[in-house]
Amino acid sequence: MDKRVLVLNLDHSPVAVVSAQKAIVLTLLEKANILSTYELLEIRTVSRTFSYPAVIRLNEYKNIPFRGVLLNRVNLFRRDNGECQYCGSRRHLTIDHVMPRSKGGKTSWTNLVTACNRCNVNKGDKTPEQAGMNLKVHPFKPSLSFFLSQYAERQANEWIPFLNVKVVQ
């Protein structure tokens, strides 16, 4: 049971990702309904067989405080697909402040990008315009759905219809 299960709130907003065991328990306790299953997978007990859930929805709305996505190195590299936002290299990656801190730039999702060591040194203490460098994609603050959709593309295509994001193939 290594596949994960997407948990949706009553309003279909993503709440969590849990194990199949937890999802089955929630459905047996009638706290959630299965909306989608993984085809060709099932969970067997001594006396019963269950469809392997892919997406479940809670039966009651749970007010969950907005936590947002943590700004850290791993999530920043994940947002930028592990490549330099100036040249596309995937080697010797660092983090670059688009607007340098010495010029008032903040450490935020909208001011940080992944850059290779060479581009970061070439840019130095300048803005990309001053250095004559172009960003491939302008930095943005990702949502939980953004990261869940990236996981879904690799591991769980059954989640995609429930995430309200466009998938480019």
Predicted pLDDT at 168: 40
CATH code of 73-131, in short, is 1.10.30.50
DSSP strand E in 59-158: where?
93-97, 112-116
Residues of the chain predicted below pLDDT 70: 1, 153-154, 164-169
Distance of CA 41 to the CA centre of its chain: 25
pLDDT of residue 65: 79
CA angle 83/137/100 to nearest 5° reads 85
Q: What residue spans define the domains of the chain?
A: 4-65+144-162, 73-131
Instruction: Supply the pLDDT for residue 23.
Output: 94
The whole-number pLDDT of residue 153 equals 65
pLDDT digits (tens, 9 = 90+) for 113-122: 999 999 999 9
126-141 pLDDT tens trace: 999 999 999 999 999 9
pLDDT for residue 59: 96
